[in-house]
Chain A
């Protein structure tokens, strides 16, 4: 009973840690790391939906009476993982350029730099 929704609770905890990291840390790289954590937690949310007790990976096997877990959430999350890495790559590229242009990757320092151009 207690473990019925255990995965989802872990999702929630990871998600909160990720969001808190994004919003509270002023270092831009750390923000990106938080964003990645936030996205990873959603992957677990989807994959948990597709799991079936006593099931196996959705690849046809010859064993009798196999139950397969649902392939659809897997497909969706494959897409989401790729979208996530694409976002990470772009964000990091922007960080590299921000460092060159402002001399810092700390949000507060950048804000104070912006004013005296």
Chain B
């Protein structure tokens, strides 16, 4: 039965991707991409990757879609029809696909228990010993935050890089083009002039619903943050959900109120603080005589040390991700607001 669910989902994936390729309206393409991400998340659940499914749903289907829609609001959503079938890209894509198909014939059967991956020492260590030596039930969290904690540190740094990158790129001054002046002189102001500025003051239902919803979203974010040891979840997913709460608030009540609550400068501080907290745990373990990110030395009892270390680094991840998503959102929303004006 499970196989048929898988196959059905995967065929839907292919159909969705083909539709993404052919559809000309970029809003539709974005929504289809979001649907593909969501299907992928479902597929990950059937493949036992619940943490990944959670992240893909929150990031791929959630935050990315918000970013795409924000961009489309600024750049327009129609795509020029392509003149012709492009032969060279088609051949290149086919040859890359061919190389992988060639590879699959010798690849271990999916789901088999005797593949190099399943028999590897790493798998044994992570599955059998990690619950004892790290002491937390969710092996993904153990591997993520402890065995491969340095990858996760790098990943937090990637998020930090993206956030300062978006702020740098979107805070450059907008040099006005002559056409824009003409448009404004003739009284035809760009349509999206002041959206985001006032939010949607007249819609009673979204106001009430979101006021009820937002506290629960934030509470859920905290749950995901601190429950990551026992079930799916962790700093990443929590950070994305937390940011989503603030973004919803800002969409309903207006960007300027959110910015009063959490000014950009404060967001920047949090952005930096999360990375420093993560690195700080590593430095602390060096000072206590271990290697970088060796949580065993953080406490007299190694398992307690691992607990403490993982808690703190996950917190660092959560803080940076929340701040980064908010910073990126501020960047895009500020651009929409300040069209034609200097944003600095």
Listed in ascending order, the chain A residues whose CB lies under 8 Å from chain B are 3-21, 23-27, 29-30, 32-34, 36-37, 40, 43-44, 47-53, 55-61, 67-79, 81-90, 92-97, 99-101, 103, 105-106, 109
Tell me whether B30 and A72 are in contact (CB under 8 A): no
Assembly CA distance A44 to B49 (angstroms): 10
B60 shortest CB reach to chain A, Å: 7
Assembly CA distance A85 to B122 (angstroms): 28
Assembly CA distance A79 to B146 (angstroms): 14
Tell me whether B139 and A11 are in contact (CB under 8 A): no
Tell me whether A99 and B109 are in contact (CB under 8 A): no
Tell me whether B111 and A51 are in contact (CB under 8 A): yes
Interface size class of B (residues with CB under 8 A): 35 or more
Tell me whether B166 and A89 are in contact (CB under 8 A): yes
Partner of A17, one of B10, B17, B40, B113: B17
Residue B286 is within 8 A (CB to CB) of chain A in the complex: no
| Residues of chain B contacted by A93 (CB below 8 angstroms) | 165-166, 169-170, 328, 331-332
Instruction: List 6 tightest A-B contacts by C-beta distance, closest first.
Output: A23-B89, A86-B162, A69-B48, A53-B111, A24-B86, A60-B137
Tell me whether A40 and B40 are in contact (CB under 8 A): yes
Given A29-B75, A75-B143, A105-B75, check contact A23 B49 (CB 8 Å). Answer: no
Given A12-B104, A33-B30, check contact A79 B152 (CB 8 Å). Answer: yes
Residue B68 is within 8 A (CB to CB) of chain A in the complex: yes
| Residues of chain A contacted by B79 (CB below 8 angstroms) | 25, 27, 29-30
Given A5-B107, A12-B101, check contact A74 B159 (CB 8 Å). Answer: no
Assembly CA distance A40 to B60 (angstroms): 9
| Residues of chain B contacted by A16 (CB below 8 angstroms) | 93-94, 96-97
Tell me whether B26 and A52 are in contact (CB under 8 A): no
B 285-297 to A, binary, CB cutoff 8 A, 1 in contact else 0: 0000000000000
B255 shortest CB reach to chain A, Å: 16
Listed in ascending order, the chain B residues whose CB lies under 8 Å from chain A are 3, 6-7, 10, 13-14, 17-18, 20-21, 26, 29-30, 33, 36-37, 40, 43-44, 47-52, 55-56, 59-60, 63-64, 67-68, 70-72, 74-76, 79-80, 82, 86, 88-90, 92-94, 96-97, 100-101, 104-105, 107, 109-113, 115, 117-118, 122-123, 126-127, 131, 137-140, 142-144, 148, 151-152, 154-155, 158-159, 161-163, 165-166, 169-170, 172, 174-175, 177, 179, 230-232, 236, 328, 331-332, 335
B192 shortest CB reach to chain A, Å: 12
Tell me whether A33 and B29 are in contact (CB under 8 A): yes
* Chain B, residue nearest A36 (CB): B33
Tell me whether A97 and B172 are in contact (CB under 8 A): yes
Assembly CA distance A26 to B82 (angstroms): 8
Assembly CA distance A27 to B75 (angstroms): 11
Partner of A20, one of B30, B90, B109, B142: B90
Tell me whether B43 and A101 are in contact (CB under 8 A): no
A80 shortest CB reach to chain B, Å: 9
Assembly CA distance A116 to B325 (angstroms): 37
Tell me whether B111 and A52 are in contact (CB under 8 A): yes
Tell me whether B140 and A48 are in contact (CB under 8 A): no
Tell me whether A74 and B158 are in contact (CB under 8 A): no
B330 shortest CB reach to chain A, Å: 12
Tell me whether B144 and A81 are in contact (CB under 8 A): no
Tell me whether A47 and B49 are in contact (CB under 8 A): yes
